[in-house]
Amino acid sequence: MTIRVIILNGGSSSGKSSIVRELQTALPEPWLAFGIDGFVEALPARLREGEEEGIAFAEDGGVEVGAGFRVLEAAWMAGVVATARAGARVVVDDVFLGGAESQLRWQQALEGMDALWVGVRCEPEEAARRERLRGDRVTGMAASQAGPVHVGVRYDLEVDTTRTPAPACARAIATRLRGD
């Protein structure tokens, strides 16, 4: 089994992006990074600013997505998978707002490919603290996502960044990837 795709799932401010950067350093082969934040940033402004078909961020940190978002998300996923099918190794940083339903969308996009599924957990209080320090997220998003993004999701490996730094989490993922 040759894994060409690693999918990290965790709530906002859980440490996924830091782990991705550490993985790119720790793994001997080059791995491309694709993240949900980059996808959202690539959306037309009207889909990022509350249009019904896009993505909307509530004042309490809730996130709602519309049908237009889902269509473009499916195209983005297909593109990420096509990159892996073309020979690149890919690590994805995502937030499964729909828990198991979100994982199913990735599984369908990955049809016929193996992936390493990694849950990135962080206690809500710590994620909220990081969110405040970042200053680029809606307050409440991190705490509200910390648990629900994992509901019904099946992982090959879970890491917890509450007290474990990103380099150690990346080493655990690299070890699992090598089958050690």
- Which positions are annotated as active-site residues? 37
C-alpha to C-alpha distances, 97 to 100, 102, 152, 154, 167, nearest whole angstrom: 9, 7, 12, 15, 26
Q: In angstroms, rounded to a whole number, what is the distance separating the alpha carbons of residues 61 and 93?
A: 19
166 within 8 A of 174, measured Cβ to Cβ? no
Q: In angstroms, rounded to a whole number, what is the distance separating the alpha carbons of residues 80 and 34?
A: 7
Q: In angstroms, rounded to a whole number, what is the distance separating the alpha carbons of residues 100 and 123?
A: 20
Amino acid at the residue 47: L
Amino acid at the residue 106: W
